[in-house]
Amino acid sequence: LGKNWLINKTGLDYKIARSEQTVFIWNQEKEIKPYNLFEYEWQQKRKSKSARIFISNSGFYSLIVNGKTVYNGPNFGSGKTIYYDSVEIDKYVKTGKNKINIVANYQKEKMHGYQNYPQPFLLVGGWIKDSWRYYNLTVADNWKGGGLKNLKNGQRISADASFQMVANFEKGKWLTELKKVKRLKNIEYRKKKSQLKNLIYEEVDMGEGGGWYDLRKFSGGYVKIDKNGGPACQLKLGWRSKDRDKKYFNQEDEYKLPTGNFSWISLERRGGRYIKMYGDCGDEVKISFRRVKMDWSEPKIIESLTSKDKQIYEMCLQTMRNNVQNQIEDCVERERAMYVGDAREVSRCLMADNKNQNYVKEMIRKVAKSQRKNGAMPAMAPSGDDMLIPGYSLQWLVWLDDYVQKSGDKKLVKEMEDRIREVLKWMRKNEDGLGFMYKQESDNWWNWTDWTVLDERYKYSTGLEIWHYRALRSAQNLFEMTDKKESVVYKDKAEKLREKIREMAFDRSAGMVVDSFEEGKKSTGSVVINGLAGVSGIFDSDTEEQKVIDYFEKTGYFSDSPYSESWIVEWLIKSGRKSLARQIIRQYWGGMIDKGATSVWEIFRPGKEMKQEWSRSHAWGCGPIYLYRMTENRDYDN
């Protein structure tokens, strides 16, 4: 009868059944649909003693056990590694007939890491155990699968896609016939259990409703729909950010609900503050909201802060609650990608109380697994995109250095040593005779520093050269733990580059660093680049630095994004202007609150109207979490 029969009928193959073995499966349909249903049925004769499922896929998924939504993915792959979740399902298993359903999405859109995956897949494993029997979830023959028809949300990972979603698994109209799945054997990816805690869900108070629901704060999560009797009806949910009358990234969901009682938790995560409910369903339909977040240790608020400062601090924490998921997400409502610049900034906030270091370490590793063949680190993870932000590749070294300075984790430095060398080799290949990394005219090379418009008319970008210098300094620090001779090499190289930056990018007549330069040519300078220069130690003396600070007092200390505003404020703190730094925090982040923000916006400048659409909960804006601590610490080390 075969080994699989023996495992499932007798439970004798203990090691295989209890191992973390997993398999790749998919349905047999020729036409690939964005949503697919998988099913595992069994008879539980005795009370379950333990039950656990391992799960991942090439899009995102919903795990449903006996009609109850238990967990939502995704857990992204990175490079050639697929991470899978481990979910305990024991409390959902009952005696008698049981059913596990997984709705697995397959993204057709070539965006971020999804274009790495050669074909759709669902990764499953785990077991259900009673007093004498194991049901092994890796036995592909016991799974059935089929495509879900007429569900069109999820063809894109971007939220600016408004398609119909039908909340019904009725066979025939919405569900193709479930057939035995096929086991996939040619997927060339390593499988690794996620080292992170599972995401957690919190019920959010949604107010009284009446067609409009207010989540009180911008939040990311899943909608629960409960229908108490009544005829079939159509329900529409529209998401809004701070304006009730304006669609938010076209996030409009449509549900067709069946006759009678019905309960459903949405397959896709959404983000917003207000939910508009409309359609032809009556009072028998109620909705609620489950916010999703990672279980991390929140940096404690500083009690000496003013009321306004505490509001700003809470807004930054709310942003982190939204964006710190199973990776540090760029933003809640669009692509679920982890950009290196955002991730480094959020990591500084996460480690403000010297906690959450294991989480940060995993994020650094996740990016490293996507390192390119030429040695560059990708702009984001997962990474299937050819686009490169060179400043972000350099910041990976600075990010690793940040973590090691906090944790003293010499083991990670040893683990990453080859990857560090590959980044440094890539840097050398892109340096010219002067030692600068020049801007390249290429579709793959995006020389991005900040959303603020900079004067980058000339060959060399000062922002890129400062990150180049910072990366060499970080290499010096990291090799200090493993190879002191090599540390000295990068110390010398960093000092030479710093002197070269000062020689060619410092405008002595204006008394500041310029945004770009060539031999004999200098552009104008901005507060963004001078702030980056100041926080990176480019200025030679306090007198020189104070003159620049005084100059920008006339033009303002504001940028177009909280990402660069954080380093402007840090520069003021390091220069001894703590009172001014707090004033800027209140004007900048407090200005967002005055405009209705409950989480940090992607772009903002007090007094300037930002016309384009932008993220309303952006990872890189949490700076005040650590900046307030710097203003409190009298012995802050320059």
- Read off the pLDDT band of 256 (50, 70, 90): confident
What local confidence, expressed as pLDDT, does residue 581 receive? 97
Residues pairing with 179 in the sheet = 145
Strands (E) in 314-367, as ranges, are 338-339
Q: Which has the higher per-residue pLDDT, 325 or 59?
A: 325
Q: Which has the higher per-residue pLDDT, 126 or 384?
A: 126
Q: Within 13 Å, how many C-alpha atoms sit on residue 229's CB side?
A: 1
Average pLDDT, the chain: 89
* Tens-digit pLDDT profile for residues 514-533: 999 999 999 999 999 999 99
Q: How far is Cα 518 from Cα 516, in angstroms, rounded to an integer?
A: 7
Q: Classify residue 164 by its DSSP letter.
A: B
Token digits of residue 10: 């007798």
* Tens-digit pLDDT profile for residues 286-313: 999 999 999 999 999 999 999 999 999 9
Answer for the pair 466, 533: CB distance below 8 angstroms, yes or no: yes
Is residue 174 over pLDDT 70? no
Q: Decide if domain 3-158+168-196 falls under CATH 1.10.10.10.
A: no
- Write down the residue that tokens 């999804």 correspond to: 114
What local confidence, expressed as pLDDT, does residue 239 receive? 87
Neighbours of 277 (CB within 10 A): 19
Q: Classify residue 519 by its DSSP letter.
A: T
Q: How far is Cα 637 from Cα 632, in angstroms, rounded to an integer?
A: 12
Neighbours of 286 (CB within 10 A): 14
Token digits of residue 22: 């997993």
Dihedral over alpha carbons 461, 467, 470, 474 (to 10 degrees): -140
Chain centre distance of CA 517: 34
Q: For the residues 332-340, what does the mean pLDDT come to?
A: 81
- Read off the pLDDT band of 34 (50, 70, 90): confident
Q: Which has the higher per-residue pLDDT, 241 or 289?
A: 289
Is the sign of the CA dihedral 532, 535, 537, 541 positive or negative?
positive
What local confidence, expressed as pLDDT, does residue 15 receive? 45
Domain ranges across the chain: 3-158+168-196, 201-293, 307-437+444-632
Which residues lie closer than 8 Å to 576 by C-beta, 6 or more apart?
A: none
Token digits of residue 292: 């999703």
Q: How far is Cα 69 from Cα 118, in angstroms, rounded to an integer?
A: 28
* Tens-digit pLDDT profile for residues 120-151: 999 999 999 888 788 889 988 899 999 988 77
* Two domains, one topology: 3-158+168-196 and 307-437+444-632: no
If DSSP states are collapsed to H, E and C, what string results for 404-453? HHHHCCHHHHHHHHHHHHHHHHHHHHCECCCCCECCCCECCECCCCCCCC
Q: How far is Cα 29 from Cα 395, in angstroms, rounded to an integer?
A: 44
Q: How far is Cα 384 from Cα 335, in angstroms, rounded to an integer?
A: 13
What local confidence, expressed as pLDDT, does residue 158 receive? 66
Answer for the pair 440, 366: CB distance below 8 angstroms, yes or no: no
What local confidence, expressed as pLDDT, does residue 150 receive? 72
Task: Identify the CATH assignment for 201-293 out of 3.50.50.60, 2.60.120.260, 3.20.20.70, 3.40.50.2000.
Answer: 2.60.120.260
Q: Is the full-model pTM beyond 0.85?
A: yes
What local confidence, expressed as pLDDT, does residue 146 receive? 93
Is residue 12 over pLDDT 60? no
Q: In the CATH hierarchy, which fold is given to the domain comprising 307-437+444-632?
A: Glycosyltransferase (1.50.10)
